[in-house]
Amino acid sequence: MKQVRMFLLLSCTLLSMITYSNDKVVYGKDNRLDLFEVTNPLYAELTRSTLAMIGPNNIKLENNQYKISGALLGPQMKLCPGEKFEKQITAANCSAFLVTPNHIVTAGHCVKNLSDCNRYKWVFDFNIEDQNTTTHIVPASSVYGCKAVVAQVLDNSNMDDYAFIELDRTVTDRLPLTVRTEGAIAVKDPLVVIGHPTGLPVKIADGAKVRSIKNPKYFVSNLDTFGGNSGSAVFNAETGVVEGILVRGETDYQYLSARKCYTPNYCSENGCRGEDVTRITNIKKLMEMLN
């Protein structure tokens, strides 16, 4: 699978995407797919409950619809020609997912307080429905704001990292995801992640597994993720149950001096540091609501 990171480039060229610093990468084969490429109906249904965190410069209200815009991935990230998704736009800063009709979860480093949260729109349906998609317009009903940050943790000592947010209104046109409320995931359990790598329209990446469960606050995986995937739901690939929140990982991109461009950082399935996933059971207020 694969993961891509480029903190310095993001700092210089994506100033609005401040949350990209918690990078990710690709392990083995790059398993990221657009929605129209997905054949598993479970994954397609889970995608409906995934949100993009989009700043005001990249989303505008026009005739009761929101138009999403952004720079193309290739030139924005100075990618080498021919890289995957190079002609798609980058608009999202982080990812999130629906856990009750009124609440979403994301990474703690994506949102630190209500003022921070209110800077962004939380958007369902930012995706590629067919290979000819070139514009991104979503109904106003798919776009939400923040009412409250119920809980937020970003702890450098134990590496806990999550935010639990109340939306400005109830979501009625899709179901909350099912999350683990007891027990724990096991090594080698199969995983899939759904979110917005490098701010792209939603991507689904499976073919991953749990590599380590030693830390009580997070587990380590070999998911193919990038900056922008922070806050993505990480699911058991067989059951569709949310196991955790993608929060950090290996360096995303590497610079090829001979070509003077960047390419995703590829690791073997068991190589590099792995991708860290905050355990969903860490969110005590969510557990109290669900139990």
Contact yes or no for 177/48 (Cβ under 8 A): no
Domains annotated on the chain, with CATH: 2-290 (2.40.10.120)
Rounded mean pLDDT, 250-256: 88
Highest mean pLDDT, choosing among 164-168, 227-231, 259-263: 164-168
**Rounded CA separation 54/160 (Å):** 24
Task: Report the pLDDT value the prediction gives residue 59, as an integer from 0 to 100.
Answer: 99
Buried b (16+ CB within 10 A) or exposed e, 93-102: bbbbbbbbeb
Task: Please tell me the pTM assigned to this model.
Answer: 0.90
Determine the residue type at 88: Q
Rounded mean pLDDT, 102-115: 98
Rounded mean pLDDT, 3-26: 45
Q: For the chain, what percent of residues have pLDDT higher than 90?
A: 80
Assign 116 a pLDDT band (cuts: 50, 70, 90).
very high
Determine the residue type at 42: L
Rounded mean pLDDT, 125-139: 92
Task: Report the pLDDT value the prediction gives residue 56, as an integer from 0 to 100.
Answer: 98
219 sits in which H/E element: strand 218-221
- Checking if the pLDDT of 21 tops 60, the result is no
Across the chain, mean pLDDT equals 91
Task: Report the pLDDT value the prediction gives residue 24, as an integer from 0 to 100.
Answer: 56
More confident residue, 269 or 71: 71
**Rounded CA separation 166/180 (Å):** 19
Q: Looking up tokens 């609501």, which residue turns up? A: 289
Task: Report the pLDDT value the prediction gives residue 111, as an integer from 0 to 100.
Answer: 98
**Rounded CA separation 107/51 (Å):** 12
Assign 118 a pLDDT band (cuts: 50, 70, 90).
very high
Tell which residue, 95, 104, 74, has the closest CA to residue 226: 95
* CA distances to 93, 117, 123, 127, 128 from 66, in Å: 17, 19, 9, 14, 16
Task: Report the pLDDT value the prediction gives residue 6, as an integer from 0 to 100.
Answer: 39
Task: Report the pLDDT value the prediction gives residue 22, as an integer from 0 to 100.
Answer: 60
- Checking if the pLDDT of 14 tops 70, the result is no
Tell which residue, 163, 187, 186, has the closest CA to residue 247: 163
* CA distances to 40, 146, 193, 228, 255 from 240, in Å: 11, 26, 10, 21, 36
- Checking if the pLDDT of 9 tops 60, the result is no
